[in-house]
């Protein structure tokens, strides 16, 4: 990491699988970066369950994460299960639907009952599933709220109701060149 002027990065991810580059070549380069000491950990991003299985089989270094879009409007249960089978952490980007969930009436009702914000409710939903959520905010007050997830637990009914927000058109990020989603 001489160019960056730092030691090894903590986590190096492939941002999207590229159908124009053989997966074996991509995973080989990622593993080599770890062996060369450029990254402490390596992983993938936006890999489907089948592509993740292929990547794990090709990797001679452990893949530790698969970072994918995930929020209550997008059911990722099959992909989360695949990550768990392979010992790979599921990391959800856009965990509150890029802010599109903040006005949802169900989330507002649950938030009022817990004296929390809708964003805190959704982030707690992630935590209770054992997934990692990486919300984005430039507002220091919201950053503090996003961290303040202790001290309350969603009920099983809350969890089920929030998961029930999933819909077939829930994906927000779907570039035209993506081959397929689970």
pLDDT of residue 148: 83
pLDDT in tens, 85-128: 999 999 999 999 988 899 999 999 999 999 999 999 999 999 99
Q: Note whether 178 and 16 are within 8 A (CB).
A: yes
Chain mean position to CA 126: 10
d(CA 12, CA 112): 39
What value does the mean pLDDT of the chain take? 91
pTM: 0.90
Asked if the model's pLDDT at residue 132 lies above 90, the reply is yes
pLDDT of residue 1: 47
Residue identified by tokens 């202790």 is: 150
Q: Note whether 119 and 148 are within 8 A (CB).
A: no
pLDDT of residue 42: 98
């Amino acid at each position: 990491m001489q160019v960056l002027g730092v030691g090894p990065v903590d986590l190096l991810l492939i941002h999207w699988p590229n159908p124009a580059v053989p997966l074996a070549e991509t995973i080989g380069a990622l593993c080599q970066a770890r062996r060369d000491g450029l990254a402490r950990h390596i992983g993938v991003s936006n890999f489907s369950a089948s592509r993740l299985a292929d990547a794990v089989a090709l990797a001679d270094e452990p893949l530790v994460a698969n970072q994918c879009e995930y929020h209550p409007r997008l059911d990722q249960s099959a992909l989360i299960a695949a990550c768990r089978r392979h010992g790979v952490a599921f990391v959800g980007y856009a965990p509150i639907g890029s802010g599109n969930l903040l006005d949802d009436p169900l989330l507002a009702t649950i938030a009022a009952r817990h004296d929390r914000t809708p964003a805190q409710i959704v982030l707690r939903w992630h935590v209770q599933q054992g997934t990692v959520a990486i919300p984005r905010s430039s507002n220091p007050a919201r950053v503090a709220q996003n961290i303040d997830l202790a001290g309350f637990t969603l009920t099983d009914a809350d969890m089920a109701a929030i998961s029930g927000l999933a819909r077939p058109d829930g994906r927000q990020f779907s570039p035209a060149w993506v081959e397929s989603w689970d």
